[in-house]
């Protein structure tokens, strides 16, 4: 029998899949595309009780290192959101690997993260162009490119340290209610090591499983390639239903 005081942090109880926060992410090579999408498509992705905030949308694809030094690959679509007086970003689509990082992000923090192909394709660098892709079961979901033209200034970037997630865990009971929590995550120790800007492109794949294609850009506003580090700390629950 595994007693409660002998349990690991998560399942398997004797061999936890991951350890408790905080989680350091180091030297993430990041392609970020800032773009415009019709308001109705953004609003359709926001869960209650988040409120729509006008502004641009962001696609982010990163190659980072987790605590062991293992490669971590992740893609996000971020939209602006508000809860009461708190502004932040909500990601309706998140894709990543390896599974240890995905499990922690999905189970504990509530990111709607799905596992993508592993080993993943690394960022392709051809001359001064960097191209990042996210694919799942061979299907292209995100492709972002930036042709480097100039060094950029940190103040050009939005502060994306504040994030909302909707942590939803369905009940195994026939008439059971799901756990549904609005989580506020504030990243810590964010460090920008390098930053470039240039011409950018973003392609969102046609997928029967994910409705990501409807967020295809109507206009690219900015495109960046950067190297960043940050720490993912404990979060807080700000709303439960």
Confidence at residue 39, expressed as pLDDT on a 0 to 100 scale: 97
Give residue 119's pLDDT: 80
Residue 7 forms part of a structural domain: no
Per-residue pLDDT tens over the stretch 53-74 = 999 999 999 999 888 888 899 9
Q: Please tell me the predicted confidence (pLDDT) of residue 108.
A: 95
pLDDT tens-digit profile of 33-45? 999 999 999 999 9
CATH number at residue 57: 2.40.400.10
Percent share of the chain, pLDDT over 70: 100
3 state SS of 119 = coil
**pLDDT of amino acid 241:** 72
Q: How many domains does the chain have?
A: 1
pLDDT digits (tens, 9 = 90+) for 105-114: 999 999 999 9
- Give pLDDT, residue 118: 86
Query: pLDDT grade, residue 240 (50/70/90)?
Result: confident
- Indicate the helix (H) or strand (E) that contains 41: helix 39-43
Q: How far apart are CA 164 and CA 83, in angstroms?
A: 9
**pLDDT tens-place string over residues 10-39:** 999 999 999 999 999 999 999 999 999 999
Residue 5 lies in a domain: no
The answer to whether position 2 is within a domain reads no
Residues constituting the chain: 241
What is the per-residue pLDDT across 173-232, written as a single tens digit (0 to 9) for each? 999 999 999 999 999 999 999 999 999 999 999 999 999 999 999 999 999 999 999 999
Is 241 a member of any domain?
A: no
User: Is position 117 within any domain?
Assistant: yes
β 139-151/23-36 pair status: unpaired
Provide the pLDDT for residue 223.
98
Backbone angles phi and psi of 21, in degrees to 5: -65, 165
* Residue 72, in any domain of the structure: yes
Query: 16 lies in a domain?
Result: no
> What is the dihedral angle through the alpha carbons of 238, 106, 71, 122, rounded to the nearest 10 degrees?
-100
Residue with tokens 């190297």: 227
Contacts with 84 (C-beta within 8 Å, 6 or more apart), sequence order: none
Q: Is residue 237 part of a domain?
A: no
Q: Residue 41 has what pLDDT? A: 97
**Cα–Cα dist 103/190, whole Å:** 23
CA atoms within 13 A on the CB side of 206: 0
- Give residue 33's domain range: 23-232
Q: Residue 172: count other Cβ atoms within 10 Å of its Cβ.
A: 6
């Amino acid at each position: 029998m595994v007693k409660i005081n002998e349990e690991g942090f998560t399942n398997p109880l004797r061999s936890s899949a991951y350890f408790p926060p905080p989680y350091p992410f180091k030297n993430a090579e990041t392609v970020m595309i800032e773009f415009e999408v019709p308001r109705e498509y953004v609003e359709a992705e926001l869960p209650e009780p988040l409120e729509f905030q006008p502004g641009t949308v962001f696609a982010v694809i990163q190659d980072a290192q987790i605590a062991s030094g293992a490669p971590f690959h992740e893609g996000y679509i971020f939209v602006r959101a508000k809860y009461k007086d708190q502004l932040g970003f909500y990601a309706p689509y998140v894709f990543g690997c390896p599974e240890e990082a995905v499990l922690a992000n999905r189970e504990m923090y509530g990111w709607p993260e799905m596992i993508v192909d592993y080993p993943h394709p690394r960022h392709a660098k051809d001359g001064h162009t960097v191209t990042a892709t996210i694919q799942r079961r061979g299907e292209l979901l995100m492709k972002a490119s930036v042709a480097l033209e100039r060094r950029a200034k940190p103040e050009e970037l939005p502060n994306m340290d504040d994030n909302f997630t909707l942590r939803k865990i369905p009940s195994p009971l026939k008439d059971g209610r799901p756990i549904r929590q609005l989580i506020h995550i504030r990243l810590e120790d964010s460090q920008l090591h390098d930053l470039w800007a240039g011409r950018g492109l973003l392609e969102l794949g046609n997928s029967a499983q994910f409705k990501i294609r409807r967020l295809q850009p109507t206009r690219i506003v900015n495109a960046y390639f950067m190297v960043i580090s940050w720490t993912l700390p404990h979060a807080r629950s700000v709303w439960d239903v």
